[in-house]
Amino acid sequence: MLRFLTQMPADMSSDSRRQLLNAVTDLFLLDDEPTEIAKEHYGQIALHTLPRLEGDGRKHYAEQVAEMESLPREVATSLAGDPDSEVARLVLKLSPVLTDADLAAIAVSQSQRHLAAIAERGRLSESVTDILVERGDRTVLETVSGNEGANLSDKGFERLIERGAGDAGIGLALSTRSNLSPSRASRVMRIVEELSDENGLWSKPNDEAVTLARQARQHRMEVKLLLVDLAAEKRALDDVVIMLAEEDRAYHLAQVFAQVGEISIEQSLRILMQRDVSGIAVLCRALNLGAPAFEAILTLRALRLIFARKAAEDDLKSYMKLDSATAERTLRFLKLRLKLA
Protein backbone atom coordinates (compact mmCIF):
# COMPACT_ATOMS: atom_id res chain seq x y z
CA MET A 1 0.00 0.00 0.00
CA LEU A 2 2.76 2.45 0.95
CA ARG A 3 4.68 1.80 -2.27
CA PHE A 4 1.48 2.42 -4.22
CA LEU A 5 0.92 5.72 -2.47
CA THR A 6 4.37 6.97 -3.42
CA GLN A 7 3.26 6.72 -7.05
CA MET A 8 0.15 8.88 -6.67
CA PRO A 9 -1.16 10.26 -9.95
CA ALA A 10 0.08 13.73 -10.82
CA ASP A 11 -3.41 15.03 -11.59
CA MET A 12 -4.67 14.73 -7.99
CA SER A 13 -5.85 18.04 -6.56
CA SER A 14 -3.94 19.71 -3.73
CA ASP A 15 -6.86 19.12 -1.37
CA SER A 16 -7.00 15.42 -2.27
CA ARG A 17 -3.30 15.08 -1.64
CA ARG A 18 -3.65 16.84 1.71
CA GLN A 19 -6.44 14.51 2.81
CA LEU A 20 -4.49 11.46 1.72
CA LEU A 21 -1.33 12.60 3.50
CA ASN A 22 -3.31 13.30 6.68
CA ALA A 23 -4.87 9.83 6.51
CA VAL A 24 -1.49 8.14 6.04
CA THR A 25 -0.04 10.25 8.87
CA ASP A 26 -2.83 9.12 11.20
CA LEU A 27 -1.99 5.50 10.36
CA PHE A 28 1.72 6.13 10.86
CA LEU A 29 1.11 7.68 14.28
CA LEU A 30 -0.71 4.56 15.49
CA ASP A 31 2.66 2.80 15.74
CA ASP A 32 4.69 4.10 18.69
CA GLU A 33 7.86 2.44 17.37
CA PRO A 34 7.67 2.25 13.57
CA THR A 35 10.26 0.15 11.75
CA GLU A 36 12.92 1.79 9.63
CA ILE A 37 11.17 0.46 6.52
CA ALA A 38 7.86 2.02 7.61
CA LYS A 39 9.61 5.33 8.32
CA GLU A 40 11.32 5.23 4.94
CA HIS A 41 8.07 4.58 3.07
CA TYR A 42 6.19 7.22 5.04
CA GLY A 43 8.99 9.70 4.36
CA GLN A 44 8.77 9.02 0.65
CA ILE A 45 5.03 9.71 0.68
CA ALA A 46 5.41 12.94 2.62
CA LEU A 47 8.31 14.24 0.55
CA HIS A 48 6.46 13.40 -2.67
CA THR A 49 3.29 15.12 -1.50
CA LEU A 50 4.48 18.27 0.28
CA PRO A 51 5.74 20.19 -2.79
CA ARG A 52 2.30 19.71 -4.35
CA LEU A 53 0.35 21.15 -1.42
CA GLU A 54 -0.71 24.77 -1.05
CA GLY A 55 0.81 26.80 1.80
CA ASP A 56 -2.14 26.25 4.14
CA GLY A 57 -1.97 22.50 3.56
CA ARG A 58 1.76 22.37 4.34
CA LYS A 59 1.22 24.54 7.42
CA HIS A 60 -1.54 22.27 8.74
CA TYR A 61 0.64 19.21 8.17
CA ALA A 62 3.64 20.84 9.86
CA GLU A 63 1.54 21.64 12.93
CA GLN A 64 0.38 18.04 13.04
CA VAL A 65 3.86 16.48 12.96
CA ALA A 66 6.08 19.16 14.55
CA GLU A 67 6.51 17.25 17.82
CA MET A 68 6.80 13.74 16.32
CA GLU A 69 9.91 11.92 17.50
CA SER A 70 9.45 9.29 14.79
CA LEU A 71 9.17 11.81 11.95
CA PRO A 72 11.75 10.97 9.27
CA ARG A 73 14.55 13.53 9.44
CA GLU A 74 14.29 14.31 5.72
CA VAL A 75 10.66 15.34 6.23
CA ALA A 76 11.55 17.47 9.26
CA THR A 77 14.31 19.29 7.39
CA SER A 78 12.04 19.83 4.37
CA LEU A 79 9.39 21.46 6.57
CA ALA A 80 11.93 23.43 8.61
CA GLY A 81 13.48 24.84 5.44
CA ASP A 82 10.18 25.71 3.79
CA PRO A 83 10.39 29.24 2.32
CA ASP A 84 7.08 30.02 4.05
CA SER A 85 8.06 30.75 7.67
CA GLU A 86 4.54 29.94 8.84
CA VAL A 87 5.04 26.38 7.61
CA ALA A 88 8.49 26.10 9.16
CA ARG A 89 7.85 27.86 12.49
CA LEU A 90 6.56 25.10 14.76
CA VAL A 91 8.91 22.48 13.36
CA LEU A 92 11.88 24.80 13.93
CA LYS A 93 10.69 25.53 17.45
CA LEU A 94 9.62 22.06 18.60
CA SER A 95 10.94 19.23 16.44
CA PRO A 96 13.16 16.80 18.40
CA VAL A 97 14.38 15.34 15.09
CA LEU A 98 16.38 18.35 13.88
CA THR A 99 20.10 18.22 14.65
CA ASP A 100 22.45 21.11 15.37
CA ALA A 101 23.73 20.76 11.81
CA ASP A 102 20.18 21.03 10.45
CA LEU A 103 19.45 24.13 12.53
CA ALA A 104 22.76 25.73 11.61
CA ALA A 105 22.16 25.18 7.90
CA ILE A 106 18.75 26.84 8.14
CA ALA A 107 20.04 29.65 10.35
CA VAL A 108 22.65 30.70 7.77
CA SER A 109 20.31 30.59 4.78
CA GLN A 110 16.72 31.40 5.74
CA SER A 111 14.71 34.47 6.74
CA GLN A 112 14.64 36.33 10.04
CA ARG A 113 11.32 34.69 10.85
CA HIS A 114 12.97 31.29 10.53
CA LEU A 115 15.73 32.49 12.84
CA ALA A 116 13.17 33.81 15.35
CA ALA A 117 11.53 30.37 15.50
CA ILE A 118 14.88 28.66 16.08
CA ALA A 119 15.63 31.18 18.84
CA GLU A 120 12.57 29.97 20.75
CA ARG A 121 13.74 26.34 21.03
CA GLY A 122 13.99 24.93 24.52
CA ARG A 123 17.70 24.21 24.07
CA LEU A 124 20.26 25.60 21.63
CA SER A 125 23.93 24.70 21.33
CA GLU A 126 26.58 27.40 21.39
CA SER A 127 27.31 26.89 17.69
CA VAL A 128 23.69 27.52 16.66
CA THR A 129 23.29 30.43 19.08
CA ASP A 130 26.45 32.03 17.66
CA ILE A 131 24.87 32.04 14.19
CA LEU A 132 21.65 33.55 15.50
CA VAL A 133 23.59 36.28 17.29
CA GLU A 134 25.58 37.07 14.15
CA ARG A 135 22.70 37.02 11.64
CA GLY A 136 19.64 37.84 13.71
CA ASP A 137 17.67 41.06 13.75
CA ARG A 138 16.53 42.80 16.92
CA THR A 139 13.66 40.35 17.51
CA VAL A 140 16.00 37.37 17.20
CA LEU A 141 18.62 38.94 19.46
CA GLU A 142 16.07 39.78 22.14
CA THR A 143 14.63 36.26 22.03
CA VAL A 144 18.07 34.66 22.30
CA SER A 145 18.98 37.02 25.14
CA GLY A 146 16.03 35.91 27.24
CA ASN A 147 16.17 32.20 26.34
CA GLU A 148 17.99 30.40 29.14
CA GLY A 149 18.20 27.29 26.98
CA ALA A 150 20.24 29.16 24.36
CA ASN A 151 23.85 28.48 25.37
CA LEU A 152 26.15 31.42 24.76
CA SER A 153 29.84 30.92 23.99
CA ASP A 154 32.27 33.61 25.13
CA LYS A 155 32.43 34.81 21.54
CA GLY A 156 28.64 34.75 21.20
CA PHE A 157 28.15 36.64 24.47
CA GLU A 158 30.61 39.36 23.43
CA ARG A 159 28.98 39.66 20.02
CA LEU A 160 25.52 39.87 21.58
CA ILE A 161 26.68 42.67 23.87
CA GLU A 162 28.22 44.44 20.88
CA ARG A 163 25.20 44.13 18.60
CA GLY A 164 22.76 44.93 21.39
CA ALA A 165 24.58 48.05 22.53
CA GLY A 166 22.09 50.71 23.53
CA ASP A 167 19.10 48.42 23.04
CA ALA A 168 16.93 48.40 26.15
CA GLY A 169 14.97 45.28 25.19
CA ILE A 170 18.07 43.15 24.68
CA GLY A 171 19.69 44.44 27.85
CA LEU A 172 16.53 43.74 29.84
CA ALA A 173 16.16 40.22 28.41
CA LEU A 174 19.79 39.38 29.19
CA SER A 175 19.54 40.73 32.71
CA THR A 176 16.70 38.38 33.61
CA ARG A 177 18.59 35.19 32.66
CA SER A 178 19.15 32.91 35.62
CA ASN A 179 22.15 31.08 34.18
CA LEU A 180 24.62 33.91 33.69
CA SER A 181 28.01 33.44 35.31
CA PRO A 182 28.81 35.98 38.05
CA SER A 183 31.15 37.91 35.74
CA ARG A 184 28.60 38.03 32.90
CA ALA A 185 25.79 38.94 35.30
CA SER A 186 27.78 41.83 36.77
CA ARG A 187 28.62 43.13 33.33
CA VAL A 188 25.01 42.97 32.14
CA MET A 189 23.86 44.67 35.33
CA ARG A 190 26.25 47.56 34.71
CA ILE A 191 25.05 47.88 31.12
CA VAL A 192 21.39 47.99 32.20
CA GLU A 193 22.08 50.60 34.86
CA GLU A 194 24.03 52.71 32.36
CA LEU A 195 21.16 52.51 29.89
CA SER A 196 18.80 53.65 32.60
CA ASP A 197 20.92 56.47 33.95
CA GLU A 198 22.63 57.87 30.86
CA ASN A 199 20.02 57.45 28.15
CA GLY A 200 16.98 58.24 30.26
CA LEU A 201 15.25 55.09 29.08
CA TRP A 202 13.48 54.81 32.41
CA SER A 203 12.62 57.54 34.83
CA LYS A 204 13.51 56.01 38.21
CA PRO A 205 16.46 54.09 39.67
CA ASN A 206 14.08 51.24 40.51
CA ASP A 207 12.65 51.08 37.02
CA GLU A 208 11.61 47.87 35.32
CA ALA A 209 14.99 46.95 33.84
CA VAL A 210 17.05 47.56 36.95
CA THR A 211 14.46 45.87 39.15
CA LEU A 212 14.36 42.76 37.00
CA ALA A 213 18.14 42.61 36.75
CA ARG A 214 18.42 42.81 40.52
CA GLN A 215 15.71 40.20 40.88
CA ALA A 216 17.66 37.84 38.64
CA ARG A 217 20.78 38.41 40.74
CA GLN A 218 18.74 37.77 43.89
CA HIS A 219 17.44 34.52 42.39
CA ARG A 220 20.99 33.38 41.67
CA MET A 221 21.97 34.02 45.28
CA GLU A 222 18.81 32.37 46.53
CA VAL A 223 19.40 29.14 44.62
CA LYS A 224 22.91 28.88 46.10
CA LEU A 225 21.39 28.99 49.57
CA LEU A 226 18.75 26.44 48.56
CA LEU A 227 21.45 24.06 47.39
CA VAL A 228 23.30 24.46 50.68
CA ASP A 229 20.09 23.78 52.64
CA LEU A 230 19.32 20.71 50.53
CA ALA A 231 22.80 19.32 51.11
CA ALA A 232 22.35 19.87 54.85
CA GLU A 233 18.83 18.37 54.68
CA LYS A 234 17.33 21.56 56.08
CA ARG A 235 14.75 21.71 53.28
CA ALA A 236 12.63 19.07 51.61
CA LEU A 237 13.42 18.45 47.97
CA ASP A 238 9.71 18.41 47.08
CA ASP A 239 9.18 21.88 48.55
CA VAL A 240 12.12 23.35 46.67
CA VAL A 241 11.04 21.75 43.38
CA ILE A 242 7.47 23.02 43.71
CA MET A 243 8.64 26.55 44.49
CA LEU A 244 11.05 26.75 41.55
CA ALA A 245 8.65 25.08 39.12
CA GLU A 246 5.78 27.38 40.06
CA GLU A 247 8.07 30.38 39.51
CA ASP A 248 9.05 28.97 36.08
CA ARG A 249 12.74 28.84 37.03
CA ALA A 250 13.80 25.96 34.80
CA TYR A 251 17.54 26.60 34.99
CA HIS A 252 17.55 26.79 38.79
CA LEU A 253 15.47 23.63 38.88
CA ALA A 254 18.10 21.97 36.70
CA GLN A 255 20.78 23.11 39.16
CA VAL A 256 18.89 21.42 41.99
CA PHE A 257 18.47 18.16 40.07
CA ALA A 258 22.13 18.26 39.06
CA GLN A 259 23.24 18.43 42.69
CA VAL A 260 20.87 15.88 44.20
CA GLY A 261 21.03 13.56 41.17
CA GLU A 262 24.81 13.85 40.84
CA ILE A 263 24.78 14.76 37.16
CA SER A 264 25.94 17.87 35.30
CA ILE A 265 23.73 20.94 34.97
CA GLU A 266 23.78 20.57 31.18
CA GLN A 267 22.58 16.96 31.44
CA SER A 268 19.97 17.95 34.02
CA LEU A 269 18.60 20.77 31.86
CA ARG A 270 18.49 18.52 28.81
CA ILE A 271 16.52 15.86 30.73
CA LEU A 272 14.16 18.47 32.19
CA MET A 273 13.35 20.18 28.90
CA GLN A 274 13.47 17.38 26.33
CA ARG A 275 10.07 16.56 24.89
CA ASP A 276 10.13 12.92 25.97
CA VAL A 277 9.03 12.90 29.60
CA SER A 278 10.71 9.55 30.37
CA GLY A 279 14.06 11.02 31.44
CA ILE A 280 12.72 13.52 33.96
CA ALA A 281 10.19 10.96 35.22
CA VAL A 282 12.94 8.43 35.92
CA LEU A 283 15.11 11.06 37.62
CA CYS A 284 12.27 12.32 39.82
CA ARG A 285 11.09 8.83 40.74
CA ALA A 286 14.63 7.78 41.64
CA LEU A 287 14.78 10.83 43.93
CA ASN A 288 11.41 9.86 45.48
CA LEU A 289 9.71 13.05 44.36
CA GLY A 290 6.01 13.09 45.23
CA ALA A 291 3.07 13.57 42.88
CA PRO A 292 2.49 17.31 43.66
CA ALA A 293 6.14 18.14 42.89
CA PHE A 294 6.15 16.16 39.65
CA GLU A 295 2.85 17.75 38.66
CA ALA A 296 4.46 21.19 39.14
CA ILE A 297 7.27 20.10 36.81
CA LEU A 298 4.76 18.91 34.22
CA THR A 299 3.01 22.28 34.40
CA LEU A 300 6.31 24.10 33.80
CA ARG A 301 7.09 21.79 30.86
CA ALA A 302 3.60 22.29 29.42
CA LEU A 303 4.08 26.06 29.43
CA ARG A 304 7.60 25.93 28.00
CA LEU A 305 7.07 23.18 25.43
CA ILE A 306 3.41 23.86 24.58
CA PHE A 307 2.00 20.53 25.75
CA ALA A 308 -1.72 19.89 25.99
CA ARG A 309 -3.17 19.61 29.49
CA LYS A 310 -4.39 16.07 28.76
CA ALA A 311 -0.83 14.98 27.98
CA ALA A 312 0.37 16.27 31.37
CA GLU A 313 -2.45 14.42 33.14
CA ASP A 314 -1.52 11.17 31.39
CA ASP A 315 2.16 11.68 32.23
CA LEU A 316 1.31 12.16 35.91
CA LYS A 317 -0.68 8.92 35.97
CA SER A 318 2.19 7.05 34.33
CA TYR A 319 4.62 8.58 36.84
CA MET A 320 2.61 7.27 39.77
CA LYS A 321 2.83 3.77 38.33
CA LEU A 322 6.61 3.96 37.86
CA ASP A 323 8.48 1.69 40.26
CA SER A 324 11.11 3.51 42.36
CA ALA A 325 13.57 0.60 42.30
CA THR A 326 13.34 0.39 38.52
CA ALA A 327 13.85 4.15 38.25
CA GLU A 328 16.95 3.97 40.49
CA ARG A 329 18.47 1.18 38.40
CA THR A 330 17.73 3.09 35.20
CA LEU A 331 19.31 6.26 36.59
CA ARG A 332 22.47 4.37 37.63
CA PHE A 333 22.69 2.91 34.12
CA LEU A 334 22.24 6.35 32.53
CA LYS A 335 24.93 7.87 34.73
CA LEU A 336 27.33 5.10 33.73
CA ARG A 337 26.57 5.69 30.06
CA LEU A 338 27.13 9.44 30.48
CA LYS A 339 30.51 8.81 32.10
CA LEU A 340 31.57 6.50 29.30
CA ALA A 341 30.35 8.82 26.56
In this predicted structure, what is the pLDDT of residue 4? Answer: 43
As a whole number, mean pLDDT of residues 39-50 equals: 87
Best-predicted range by mean pLDDT (112-116, 218-222, 304-308, 329-333): 112-116
Query: Using an 8 Å Cβ cutoff, are 149 and 273 in contact?
Result: yes
Query: Using an 8 Å Cβ cutoff, are 219 and 252 in contact?
Result: yes
Is pLDDT of 65 > 50?
yes
Q: Identify the band that residue 103 occupies on the pLDDT scale cut at 50, 70 and 90.
A: very high
In this predicted structure, what is the pLDDT of residue 16? Answer: 65
As a whole number, mean pLDDT of residues 233-241 equals: 94
Residue 7 or residue 182, greater confidence: 182
Q: Identify the band that residue 206 occupies on the pLDDT scale cut at 50, 70 and 90.
A: very low
Would you mind telling me the total number of residues written for the chain in this entry?
341
Residue 306 CB neighbour total at 10 angstroms: 14
Q: Identify the band that residue 148 occupies on the pLDDT scale cut at 50, 70 and 90.
A: confident
Distance separating alpha carbons of residues 269 and 258, to the nearest angstrom:
8
Residue 8 CB neighbour total at 10 angstroms: 16
Q: Identify the band that residue 73 occupies on the pLDDT scale cut at 50, 70 and 90.
A: very high
In this predicted structure, what is the pLDDT of residue 197? Answer: 53
Distance separating alpha carbons of residues 312 and 266, to the nearest angstrom:
24
175: helix, strand or coil? helix
Is pLDDT of 135 > 80?
yes
As a whole number, mean pLDDT of residues 20-32 equals: 75
Query: Using an 8 Å Cβ cutoff, are 320 and 294 in contact?
Result: no
In this predicted structure, what is the pLDDT of residue 339? Answer: 60
Distances (CA, A) of 303 to 65, 138, 197: 19, 24, 35
pLDDT in tens, 280-316: 999 999 999 999 999 999 999 888 777 666 778 889 9
Using the 8-state DSSP alphabet, how is residue 1 labeled?
Answer: -
Distance separating alpha carbons of residues 110 and 115, to the nearest angstrom:
7
Give the dihedral sign, CA 320/306/98/257. Answer: negative
Q: Left if phi > 0, otherwise alpha if psi is -120 to 50, otherwise beta: which for 248?
A: left
Is pLDDT of 205 > 50?
no
DSSP string for 254-290: HHHHHHHHTS-HHHHHHHHHSS-THHHHHHHHHTT--
In this predicted structure, what is the pLDDT of residue 142? Answer: 93
Lowest mean pLDDT among 149-158, 193-202, 270-279, 306-315: 193-202
The answer to whether the predicted template modeling score (pTM) of the entire model surpasses 0.75 is no
In this predicted structure, what is the pLDDT of residue 203? Answer: 39
Best-predicted range by mean pLDDT (13-17, 43-47, 114-118, 278-282): 114-118
Provide the CB-side half-sphere exposure for 336 (13 A, CA).
6
Is pLDDT of 244 > 70?
yes
- With 0-12 / 13-18 / 19 or more C-beta atoms within 10 angstroms meaning exposed / middle / buried, residue 189 is buried
Residue 168 or residue 13, greater confidence: 168
